[in-house]
């Protein structure tokens, strides 16, 4: 026989109920057929032989009913009624099924049904919004990647690579005329001159026989170096310590004017190399560089050249 009171006395108050969860202020019932979720005399499905609940399965709501007549048949104890998807119709169904049942159960069933429909609606809405996808990180993999990255960083030698690339671009002239390093242009020009001179040498050897016996009037002049007119800009760049470079530049520019003439390029190269080799050490600025001792070379001019105007850079 079903003695509800006795059952409640035992499980509710005195002894153990496996569905009961006690907290400081309240106790809850974990039984899946419980309608309110609280552990009460009127909400306990074990202590009430006439009981009804709403449960939801995959978005479908069902009304479960238990009557005392079926208390002896546990497998058939709960009667399951599928509720309509329409909210009002479902409420009517609940009313219809629980028509002579206690007010409490009817009310609570409807409440529960309302709550369930509301959360189902929210679930459907959320699915349409952005979903956050959790991607698991494998610790081993992360560790490995970190190490690989460190090794790759070391292998990359970034600073060197960047510097090299920038210098390449400078050489190729992508920067145009912004930087006053005329050396590059002259290097290239000189290389071209070299090639031409090689050709010319061959030509000259053939022509030497022709020139024998011809007379030319030649001016004898010392090699004069142009003074520093072009290097004010160089001084503005922070190259105060690069006087060696200045010297080289001076030498180069002194050759500049001579380049314009048709001369024997071999001698020019000699002058240049000697000058370069001599100007390795740091020399006091500007003026004295012009007076450095150089190998005296006779250079033939077809036209008279004027020495460059002597303007002292500050």
Partner 1 sequence: MDIVEVPVSQDDNGKKRKNKMPKKKKKKEESVSAEGAETKQEEKMEKGESAAAFPPTFSVSEIKNKQRRHVMFMKLKQEKRQQKMQLKKKKKKEREALGDKAPPKEVPKTIENQRVYDETTVDPDDEEVAFDEGTDEFSAYFNGLTNPKVLITTSDRPRGRTVRFCEQLATVIPNAHVYYRRGLALKRVIPQCVARNFTYLIVINEDRKVPNGLVLCHLPDGPTAHFKVSSVRLRKEMKRRGKDPTEHFPEVILNNFSTRLGHSIGRLLAALFPQEPQFVGRQVATFHNQRDFIFFRFHRYIFKNEKKVGIQELGPRFTLKLRSLQKGTFDSKFGEYEWVLKRHEMDACRRKFQL
* Residue placing its CB nearer to partner 1 in the complex, 147 or 312: 147
SS3 string, the chain, reads CCCHHHHHHHHHHHCCCCCEEECCCCEEECCCCCCCCECCCCCCCCCCCCEEEEEEECCEEEEEEECHHHCCCHHHCEEEEECCCCHHHHHHHHHHHCCCCCHHHHHHHHHHHHHHHHHHHHHHHHHHCCCCCCCCCCHHHHHHHHHHHHHHHHHHCHHHHHHHHHHHHHHHCCCCCCCCCHHHHHHHHHHHHHHHHHHHHHHHHHHHHHHCCCCCCCCCCCCCCCCCHHHHHHHHCCCCCCHHHHHHHHHHHHHHHHHHCCCCHHHHHHHHHHHHHHCCCCCCCCHHHHCCCCCCCCCCCCCCCCCCCCCCCC
**Residue from 56, 79, 242, 264 binding partner 1 (CB under 8 A):** 242
Q: Min. distance of Cβ 128 from partner 1 in angstroms?
A: 10
Task: Please give the size of the binding site for partner 1, defined by CB under 8 A.
Answer: 36
When asked if residue 130 is in the footprint of partner 1 (CB under 8 A), the reply is yes
* Residue placing its CB nearer to partner 1 in the complex, 81 or 183: 183
**Residue from 30, 85, 143, 146 binding partner 1 (CB under 8 A):** 146
When asked if residue 71 is in the footprint of partner 1 (CB under 8 A), the reply is no
When asked if residue 282 is in the footprint of partner 1 (CB under 8 A), the reply is no
- Find the part of the chain contacting partner 1 (CB under 8 A) among 57-65, 169-177, 213-221, 295-303: 169-177
When asked if residue 186 is in the footprint of partner 1 (CB under 8 A), the reply is no
- Find the part of the chain contacting partner 1 (CB under 8 A) among 188-196, 232-240, 253-261, 285-293: 232-240
When asked if residue 179 is in the footprint of partner 1 (CB under 8 A), the reply is yes
**Residue from 103, 214, 238, 293 binding partner 1 (CB under 8 A):** 238
Q: Min. distance of Cβ 228 from partner 1 in angstroms?
A: 17
* Residue placing its CB nearer to partner 1 in the complex, 155 or 212: 155
Q: Write out the residues near partner 1 by the rule CB under 8 A.
A: 129-130, 133, 141, 145-146, 148-149, 151-153, 155-156, 158-159, 161-163, 165-167, 169-171, 175-176, 178-179, 181, 183-184, 237-239, 242, 245
């Amino acid at each position: 026989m079903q003695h509800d009171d006795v059952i409640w006395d035992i499980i509710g108050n005195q002894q153990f109920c496996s569905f009961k969860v006690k907290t400081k202020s309240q106790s809850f019932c974990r039984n899946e057929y419980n309608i309110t979720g609280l552990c009460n005399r009127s909400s306990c499905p074990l202590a009430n032989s006439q009981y009804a609940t709403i449960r939801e399965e995959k978005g479908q709501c069902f009304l479960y009913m238990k009557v005392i007549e079926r208390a002896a048949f546990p497998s058939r104890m709960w009667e399951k009624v599928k509720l309509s998807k329409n909210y009002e119709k479902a409420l009517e169904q609940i009313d219809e099924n629980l028509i002579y049942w206690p007010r409490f159960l009817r009310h609570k069933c409807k409440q529960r049904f309302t709550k369930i429909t509301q959360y189902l609606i929210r679930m459907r809405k959320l699915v349409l919004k952005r979903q956050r996808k959790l991607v698991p990180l494998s610790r081993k993999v992360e560790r490995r990647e970190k190490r690989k990255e460190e090794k790759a960083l070391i292998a990359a030698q970034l600073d060197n690579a960047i510097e090299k690339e920038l210098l390449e671009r400078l050489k190729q002239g992508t920067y145009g005329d912004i930087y006053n390093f005329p050396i590059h242009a002259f290097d290239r020009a000189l290389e071209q001159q070299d090639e031409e001179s090689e050709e010319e040498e061959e030509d000259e050897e053939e022509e030497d026989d022709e020139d024998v016996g011809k007379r030319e009037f030649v001016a004898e002049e010392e090699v004069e170096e142009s003074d520093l007119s072009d290097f004010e800009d160089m001084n503005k760049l922070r190259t105060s310590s690069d006087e060696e470079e200045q010297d080289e530049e001076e030498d180069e520019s002194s050759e500049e004017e001579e380049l314009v003439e048709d001369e024997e390029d071999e001698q020019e190269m000699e002058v240049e190399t000697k000058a370069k080799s001599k100007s390795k050490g740091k020399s006091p600025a500007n003026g004295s560089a012009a007076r450095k001792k150089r190998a005296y070379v006779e250079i033939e001019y077809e036209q008279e050249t004027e020495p460059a105007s002597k303007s002292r850079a500050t």
